[in-house]
C-alpha cells in the first residue's frame, strides 16, 4: 500500500464506491436491456438533468424554500414547547402522552386536512414540513432540559441562583447538543414533509414535477427529480451537522478546543 493518510484513503474509497455504484447501474441496464420506462440509465438521467435544468431549477428553489420555511417554523415552535415541557416535571408528565399521540400520527394523513383548510399550493407543504419537524425538537429539548445534574443544581442554588439563572447558565447550554441532534433529524423530516405535500397538493416543487412526470411516463425525469432531492437532502444534513459541530464542539470531546464558539 502507498502511504496515504487514513482520512484521504477513506475519502478515496467512499468516492470510488459512489462512482462504482453508478457505473454498475449503467452496465447492468445496458447488459439486461431493461427499458428506460422501468429503470433509466444514470447517463440518461444526467442528460435530463443537464438539458432540463432551466425548467427544474425554479422547482428546486421552491422545494428548498418550502422546506426551510417549514423547518424554521417547526424548530421555533419546537424549542418554545420543549422549553415549557422540559422546565417542569409536571408539564413533562402531563404533556408527554399528548406528544406521543400526536407524533405517532402518520404525517401523510394531515396533508388532506391542510389542503381542505388552505387550498392546494405552498401553504400545505410549508405546514406539513413544519408539523413533521416539531416533534423531534420538542422531545429532545425537553429531555435535554430535564437532564441537569442535581448536584450542579445544588451548587448553584446554595449560591442563591434563581430558577432563571440556572436555566440560562446551565440547563439551556446543556440542552444544546440535544437540540442540534434533533435539528439533523428535523431537517431530513421537513424535507420529506415538503416533497410529500408537493406530490399531493401543489403546483410547484420537485415533488410536483415528479408526480406529473410519472403521469406522463417520463421516467428519466422522475429519476432526475429523485437525484435532485438526494443532493438537496445531503446538503441540508451536512449544513446542520456543520452547525452542530460549531455550536457544541465541547460535547464531542475533541482534544483541541479549537472550534468552540460558545461562551
Partner 1 sequence: MTDPFIELSNVTLQYGGGTLALAQTDLRIPQGDFVALVGPSGCGKSTILKLVAGLLKPSSGGVVVAKREVVMAGTGPSVEAVGGLAAKVRIGLAFQNPTMLPWLTIRENVMIPLKIVEPFRQDWARKKKGEYAERADALLAQVGLKGFGDKRPWQLSGGMLQRASLCRALVHEPQLLLLDEPFGALDQFTREELWAILQSLWMTQRPTVLLVTHDLRESAFLANRIAVMSARPGRILEEREVPFARPRTLEMSYSPEFATLVQQLRMRISHARTPVEGDPPETVPALNLMKVSA
| Residue for grid cell 441496464 | 29
9/254 with CB nearer partner 1: 254
Is 259 an interacting residue with respect to partner 1 (CB under 8 A)?
Answer: no
Residue 244 CB, nearest distance to partner 1 (Å)? 14
Segment near partner 1 (CB under 8 A), from 185-193, 195-203, 236-244, 247-255? 247-255
Residue 258 CB, nearest distance to partner 1 (Å)? 11
The count of residues interacting with partner 1 (CB under 8 A) is 28
Q: What would the DSSP string read from start to end of the chain?
A: -----HHHHHHHHHHHHHHHHHHHHHHHHHHHT--TTTS--HHHHHHHHHHSHHHHHHHHHHHHHHHHHHHHHHHHHHHHHHHHHHT-HHHHHHHHHHHHHHHTS-GGGGHHHHHHHH-SSHHHHHHHHHHHHHHHHHHHHHHHHHT--HHHHHHHHHTT--HHHHIIIIIHHHHHHHHHHHHHHHHHHHHHHHHHHHHHH-SSSHHHHHHHHHHTT-HHHHHHHHHHHHHHHHHHHHHHHHHHHHH-GGGGT-S--TT----
Is 253 an interacting residue with respect to partner 1 (CB under 8 A)?
Answer: yes
Tell me which of 72, 152, 185, 226 binds partner 1, using CB under 8 A.
Answer: 152
Is 149 an interacting residue with respect to partner 1 (CB under 8 A)?
Answer: yes
9/163 with CB nearer partner 1: 163
Is 89 an interacting residue with respect to partner 1 (CB under 8 A)?
Answer: no
Residue 18 CB, nearest distance to partner 1 (Å)? 35
Is 146 an interacting residue with respect to partner 1 (CB under 8 A)?
Answer: no
Q: Which positions from 157 through 196 interact with partner 1, judged by CB under 8 A?
A: 157-163, 165, 169-170, 173-174, 176
Is 251 an interacting residue with respect to partner 1 (CB under 8 A)?
Answer: yes
**CB 203 within 8 Å of CB 138:** no
Segment near partner 1 (CB under 8 A), from 54-62, 65-73, 200-208, 249-257? 249-257
Segment near partner 1 (CB under 8 A), from 51-59, 122-130, 155-163, 214-222? 155-163
Q: Which positions from 3 through 62 interact with partner 1, judged by CB under 8 A?
A: none
Segment near partner 1 (CB under 8 A), from 110-118, 184-192, 212-220, 246-254? 246-254
Closest CA to 126 of 58, 185, 73: 73
- Check the CA dihedral 81-196-187-66 and report its sign: negative
Binding residues for partner 1, rule: CB under 8 A, are: 149, 151-152, 154-163, 165, 169-170, 173-174, 176, 248, 250-251, 253, 255, 257, 260, 262-263
Amino acid at each position: 500500500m502507498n502511504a496515504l493518510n487514513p482520512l484521504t484513503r477513506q475519502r478515496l474509497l467512499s468516492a470510488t464506491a459512489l462512482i462504482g455504484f453508478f457505473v454498475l447501474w449503467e452496465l447492468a441496464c445496458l447488459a439486461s436491456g431493461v427499458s428506460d420506462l422501468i429503470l433509466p440509465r444514470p447517463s440518461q438521467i444526467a442528460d435530463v438533468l443537464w438539458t432540463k435544468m432551466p425548467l427544474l431549477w425554479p422547482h428546486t428553489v421552491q422545494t428548498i424554500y418550502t422546506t426551510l420555511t417549514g423547518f424554521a417554523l417547526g424548530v421555533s415552535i419546537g424549542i418554545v414547547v420543549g422549553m415549557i415541557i422540559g422546565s417542569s416535571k409536571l408539564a413533562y408528565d402531563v404533556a408527554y402522552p399528548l406528544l406521543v399521540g400526536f407524533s405517532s400520527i402518520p404525517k401523510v394523513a394531515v396533508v388532506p386536512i391542510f389542503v381542505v383548510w388552505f387550498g392546494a399550493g405552498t401553504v400545505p407543504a410549508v405546514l406539513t414540513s413544519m408539523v413533521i419537524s416539531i416533534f423531534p425538537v420538542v422531545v429532545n429539548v425537553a429531555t435535554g432540559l430535564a437532564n441537569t445534574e442535581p448536584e450542579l443544581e445544588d451548587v448553584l442554588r446554595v449560591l442563591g441562583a434563581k430558577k432563571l439563572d440556572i436555566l440560562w447558565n446551565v440547563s439551556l447550554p446543556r440542552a444544546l447538543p440535544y437540540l442540534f441532534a434533533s435539528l439533523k433529524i428535523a431537517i431530513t423530516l421537513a424535507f420529506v414533509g415538503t416533497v410529500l405535500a408537493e406530490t399531493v397538493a401543489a403546483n410547484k416543487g420537485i415533488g410536483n414535477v415528479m408526480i406529473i412526470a410519472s403521469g406522463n411516463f417520463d421516467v428519466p425525469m422522475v429519476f432526475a427529480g429523485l437525484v435532485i432531492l438526494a443532493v438537496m437532502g445531503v446538503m441540508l444534513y451536512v449544513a446542520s451537522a456543520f452547525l452542530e459541530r460549531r455550536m457544541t464542539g465541547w460535547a464531542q470531546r475533541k482534544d483541541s478546543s479549537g472550534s468552540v464558539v460558545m461562551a
